[in-house]
Amino acid sequence: MRELSRKGHRLADDFISSHPLLCDKWDHEYGVALLGIMLLYETNGKRAHFDFVKNSLDPQIDDHGNIPDYNKEAYEVDSIVSGRALLRLYQKSGNEKYKLAAENLRDQFRTHPKASFGNFLHKRNMTEILLIDGIYMGMPFLAEYEAALGSSDFGEVFGNLLTAYRLNYDKESGLMVHGYDATKSRPWADPSTGRSSALWGRGLGWFVVACVDVLDHLPPNYASTVEISRILKELLQNVLRYQHKTGSWFQILDEGEREGNYLEASASAMFTYALCKAISTGRIDESFRANAEQAYNGLLHNFLAERNGRYTLVGTCASAGLEGKPYRNGSFESYACEPTRDNDLKGVGAFFMATAAFDRLFGATNE
Region 211-215 average pLDDT: 99
Q: Where residue 5 falls among pLDDT bands split at 50, 70, 90?
A: confident
121 pLDDT above the threshold of 70: yes
- pLDDT confidence of residue 150: 87
- pLDDT confidence of residue 337: 83
1 pLDDT above the threshold of 70: no
Q: Report the distance separating Cα 205 and Cα 269, nearest Å.
A: 8
Locate all alpha helices (DSSP H) within the chain, ordered by sequence.
2-18, 28-44, 47-57, 83-93, 96-111, 133-148, 155-168, 201-214, 223-239, 265-280, 289-303, 332-336, 345-362
pLDDT, greater one: 242 or 1: 242
Q: Where residue 100 falls among pLDDT bands split at 50, 70, 90?
A: very high
The pTM assigned to this predicted structure is 0.96
Cβ proximity of 155 and 149 under 8 Å:
no
pLDDT, greater one: 309 or 325: 309
- pLDDT confidence of residue 367: 41
262 pLDDT above the threshold of 80: yes
Mean pLDDT of the chain: 95
Q: Report the distance separating Cα 150 and Cα 139, nearest Å.
A: 14
Query: What residues form DSSP beta bridges with 160?
Result: none
Give the residue from 194, 75, 195, 192 showing the smallest Cα distance to 126: 75
Cis peptide before 326 (omega within 30 of 0): yes
Cβ proximity of 146 and 153 under 8 Å:
yes
- pLDDT confidence of residue 79: 97
- pLDDT confidence of residue 366: 47
- pLDDT-wise least confident of 125-129, 337-341, 355-359: 337-341
- pLDDT confidence of residue 363: 84
All structural domains of the chain = 2-362 (1.50.10.10)
Region 148-177 average pLDDT: 96
pLDDT tens digits for range 10-39:
999 999 999 999 999 999 999 999 999 999
248 pLDDT above the threshold of 90: yes
- pLDDT confidence of residue 364: 65
Q: Who contacts 276 (Cβ-Cβ below 8 Å, separation ≥6)?
A: 292, 296, 354, 357, 358, 360, 361
